[in-house]
Structure 1
Amino acid sequence: MAYATVEQFADHMDPEPVPANARRLLETATIRIDELLVGARYSVDDDGNPMDPVDRAIFAKAVCLQAQFMKDTGDETGANANVTSMSQGGLSVGRSSGADGRTIPRYSQDAVSYLRTRGVLPVHPYTYS
């Protein structure tokens, strides 16, 4: 289940229209945000969703930012992350090794920054002895 609803995404995208694949974008964006949250500490309900309303709002905003990023880059699956050029007629695809920094990042920098400034992203490892 996505951290944000289609209605929340519509509010975020306003005045732009919500894409037809909004629900799928939100579900995929939730998976991306969950990847970023590995190591974060927050209380969850039996379904694994954040219990704190503040956390729920933060996660919903981050998911909307990530979904917008995936919509804007046209790369919902990450398959084009290392594509540097593409042609339609005769099909020609150029891929980057990543060394030149010309790859599409997996995560929205806005979503990462938002989570970081809200204190949700683990900046330091949680250690104990």
Structure 2
Amino acid sequence: MPVYASPTDLPEGVEASEAELLLASALVDEAALTARYRVDDEGLPVDPSILARFRAATVAQVTYWHELGIDPVQGAAGVVSQRQASSKSIGSASVAYESGEARTQARVDALRALGPAAAAALGALTRGPVIVRG
């Protein structure tokens, strides 16, 4: 399984393990499943522009997880439920919270799908036709 980015490719303040980079690369691979491009012996795209897109998408995905506070290595167990205040009162000081289920589910979903910036980095590579022969 090729890994398209290294820790040195990440923006300042974003850190990721090799496992996180591998998981992000796997999502990039899945998204570009129907794209046609040549690869080298390590499975990396030969075309530098395609390799740059894969690297940018991998970095964007790791950054997306970082911004959401998600640890993809732990899977759904790495997603912490976040409750959000739904109403507040000053007189008698009361605060009501929503359960956070919808926000938590959205964060779990972010483990399995490319974030917006990663999808944009791949662009048309993700919209190829599926051709079955044989």
Report TM bin, short chain: 0.5 to 0.7
Contact 1:82–1:95 under 8 Å retained in 2: no
**CA distance 1:83–1:2, change in 2 (3 Å):** same
Q: Which amino acid aligns with 1:120?
A: L
1:69 maps to what in 2? 64
In 2, Cα distance between the equivalents of 1:82 and 1:64? Answer: 20
1:107 and 2:123 matched: no
Contact 2:35–2:128 under 8 Å retained in 1: no
**CA distance 1:94–1:28, change in 2 (3 Å):** same
RMSD across aligned positions (CA): 3.1
1:79 maps to what in 2? 76
1:29 maps to what in 2? 24
Bigger Rg over Cα: 2
Can you give the 5+ residue segments of structure 2 that lack an aligned partner in the other structure? 84-98
Tell me the CA shift for residue 76 of structure 1.
3.1
Contact 1:66–1:108 under 8 Å retained in 2: yes
Contact 1:84–1:103 under 8 Å retained in 2: no
1:59 maps to what in 2? 54
Higher helix share: 2
**TM-score of the two chains, using structure 1 as the length reference:** 0.68
In 1, Cα distance between the equivalents of 2:8 and 2:78? Answer: 28
Identity score, percent:
26
1:122 and 2:123 matched: no
